[in-house]
């Protein structure tokens, strides 16, 4: 659902990467593009404004590690702010101190309340709870029957009521009694919806709320309706006081605006998302994973941590100095290759890098581990003098090195060429910290596009 937004943001980062250095001017143009991308994704204009302002503030305030390249700094800032907007941490369900906990499922007609009620019951069961279902949509017998059918098909207990019980209040009273008697710890109440918010419905929901003192009032919103969903969430919250949001139809082609704005606009957390009609197409909402998905960067931060763990800061600084002083030798080149290999299989490392998102680009990138081994073997066959000064490696030396490492003279030639290119390329990355140089280099010689 975030594909278009994701593509656009990645283009912004890619353009920034070309700049080498962050300036007020290129940051402003990046911010403009980010703003347009968010608005086009149907994010609420106030949320966009807020987000852009805090990104600008952070970017100009340089509240980030020098270790990151300019692009990475911006990616990190945007990621942090996106997560903040989405809710910082995963919002968990609240339960009553004394079971059974009551949870009211509310929302407009067709938003997915009945489906989500059954999905939530399944999820609760899987997580060690024993829910009881009840539908209080007394206006549409078919709606109550719909919940009963789903419940039966997935073997969930449901309170269906007696013919005498005609009002929502009567139904939930008996359902609660049954939950207590049968030792169920959560009572899930599927409520009636309307096409529009009306006073009668709100009055009924308030009565249910006052009777049950629910631990959760979950507003079910249809992601496909975009800002309308956000607006009704806000109105329900004003009139009823919701405790969380379930966003359904994430499998559709909505642009993502509802998911991205609903938390900021209503102040209430997104707790679950539904992405399909099947009872299992339902999961807790994770702000950080969603932000990562939007940025399409696999897991760049864990990558950065990994690099920092494996390549000591000191070593890195030394390498940086060597680069600047033009002392980056073949021996260093070999050490770098070894370091890179220590990080794990190259494919998985590259999969974590921004712009090389796991699935998309990697399909046409081939990482040749064998090639890497061969390069290291060739450098191992050199004398220390040769490793420290590649300029002395003439034809005779090349033949000897080739022989010693079981490679051909062409292999040696191409290695020396790669080394020279890498050196040149690394030197041109003077904009960022050492990681920028490293990341840039990772994409060099052993990759074939
Ligand atoms: N594709 C998709 N359809 C959904 C999802 N949740 C609900 N639906 C469908 O949306 C329609 C309305 O759902 P329902 O639960 O009856 O909504 P209610 O009126 O709020 O109770 C039904 O056809 C559901 O199958 C979802 O996450 N993805
Ligand atoms: Mg329903």
What does the pLDDT read at residue 75?
A: 82
Q: Cβ < 6 Å from ligand 1: which residues?
A: 107, 109-115, 193, 220, 248-249, 251-252, 274-277, 281
What whole-number percentage of the chain has pLDDT above 70?
77
Residue 237, phi-psi category: left (phi > 0), alpha (psi -120 to 50), beta (remainder): alpha
Contacts of 252 (CB under 8 A, 6+ apart): 1, 223, 224
C-alpha 194 – ligand 2 centre gap (Å): 10
Q: How far, CA to CA in Å, does 263 sit from each of 44, 45, 104, 200, 257?
A: 11, 14, 19, 26, 11
Taking the centre of ligand 1 as the mean of its atom positions, its distance from the CA of residue 132, in whole angstroms, is: 20
Bridge partners of 130?
Answer: none
* Span 81-112, pLDDT tens digits: 998 899 878 889 999 999 999 999 999 999 99
The pLDDT of residue 339 is 66
Q: Which fold does the domain 101-290 belong to in CATH?
A: Rossmann fold (3.40.50)
* 42 Cα–ligand 1 center, Å: 22
d(CA 263, CA 275): 19
**SS3 assignment, position 361:** helix
- Report pLDDT digits (tens) over 303-344: 544 554 555 555 656 665 666 666 778 887 787 677 666 655
What is the rounded distance in angstroms from the CA atom of residue 7 to the CA atom of residue 74? 16
> 132-136, 259-263, 441-445: which has the highest mean pLDDT?
132-136
106, 174, 235 from 159: Cα distances, Å: 18, 8, 30
Provide the pLDDT confidence category of residue 136 given band limits of 50, 70 and 90.
Answer: very high
Are the folds of 3-86 and 300-448 the same?
Answer: no
CATH architecture of the domain covering 300-448: Orthogonal Bundle (1.10)
Q: Whose CA is nearest to atom 7 of ligand 1?
A: 112
- Which homologous superfamily does the CATH classification assign to the domain defined by 3-86? SRP54, nucleotide-binding domain (1.20.120.140)
Q: Ligand 1 atom closest to Cα of 190?
A: 21
Per-residue confidence band for 386, with pLDDT thresholds at 50, 70 and 90: very high
pLDDT for 440: 44
What's the CA angle centered on 166, arms 165 and 172, to 5 degrees?
A: 65
Among the residue ranges 214-223, 319-328, 366-375, 424-433, the one predicted with the least confidence is 424-433
Where are the chain's structural domains? 3-86, 101-290, 300-448
Whether residue 294 is predicted with pLDDT greater than 60 in this model: the reply is: yes
Candidates 104, 112, 117, 201: which one to mutate for ligand 1, based on the most atoms within 8 Å of Cβ? 112
Q: What is the pLDDT of residue 449?
A: 25
Higher pLDDT, 394 or 3: 394
Strand order in the sheet with 244-248: 158-159, 131-135, 186-190, 101-107, 216-222, 244-248, 270-274, 282-284
Give the environment of ion ligand 2: residues with CB less than 5 A: 113-114, 143
């Amino acid at each position: 659902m975030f594909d278009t937004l994701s593509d656009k943001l990645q283009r912004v980062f890619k353009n920034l990467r070309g700049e080498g250095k962050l300036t007020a001017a290129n940051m402003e143009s990046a911010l403009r593009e980010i703003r347009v991308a968010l608005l086009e994704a149907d994010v609420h204009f106030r949320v966009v404004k807020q987000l852009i302002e805090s990104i600008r503030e952070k970017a100009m305030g340089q509240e980030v590690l020098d270790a990151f390249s300019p692009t990475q700094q911006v990616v990190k800032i945007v990621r942090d702010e996106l997560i903040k907007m989405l809710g910082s941490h995963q919002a968990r369900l609240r339960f009553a101190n004394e079971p059974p906990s009551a949870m009211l499922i509310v929302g407009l007609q067709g938003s997915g309340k009945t489906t989500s009620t059954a999905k939530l019951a399944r999820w609760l069961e899987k997580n060690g709870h024993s829910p009881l279902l009840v539908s209080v949509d007394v206006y549409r017998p078919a709606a109550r029957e719909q919940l009963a059918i789903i419940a039966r098909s997935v073997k969930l207990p449901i309170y269906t009521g007696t013919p005498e019980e005609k009002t929502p209040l009567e139904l939930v009273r008996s359902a609660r009694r049954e939950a207590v008697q049968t030792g169920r710890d959560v009572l899930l109440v599927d409520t009636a919806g309307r096409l529009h918010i009306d006073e009668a419905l709100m009055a009924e929901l308030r009565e249910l709320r006052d009777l049950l003192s629910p631990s959760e009032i979950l507003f079910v919103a249809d992601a496909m309706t975009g800002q309308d969903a956000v607006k009704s969430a806000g109105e329900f919250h004003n009139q009823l006081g919701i405790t969380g949001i379930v966003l359904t139809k994430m499998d559709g082609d909505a642009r993502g605006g509802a998911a991205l704005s609903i938390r900021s606009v209503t102040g209430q957390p997104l707790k679950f998302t539904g992405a399909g009609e099947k009872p299992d197409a339902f999961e807790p909402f994770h702000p950080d994973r969603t932000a990562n998905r939007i940025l399409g960067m696999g897991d760049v931060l864990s990558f950065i941590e990994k690099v920092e763990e494996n390549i000591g800061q000191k070593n890195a600084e030394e390498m940086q100095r060597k680069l600047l002083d033009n002392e980056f030798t073949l021996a260093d080149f070999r050490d770098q290759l070894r370091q890179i290999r220590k990080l794990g299989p190259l494919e998985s490392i590259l999969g974590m890098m921004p712009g090389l998102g796991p699935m998309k680009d990697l399909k046409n990138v081939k990482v040749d581990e064998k090639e890497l081994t061969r390069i290291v073997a060739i450098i191992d066959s050199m004398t220390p003098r040769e490793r420290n000064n590649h300029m002395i490696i003439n034809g005779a030396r090349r033949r000897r090195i080739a022989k010693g490492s079981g490679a051909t003279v062409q292999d040696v030639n191409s290695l020396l060429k790669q080394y020279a290119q890498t050196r040149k390329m690394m030197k041109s990355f003077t904009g960022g910290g050492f990681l920028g140089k490293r990341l840039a280099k990772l994409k060099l010689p052993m990759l074939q596009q």
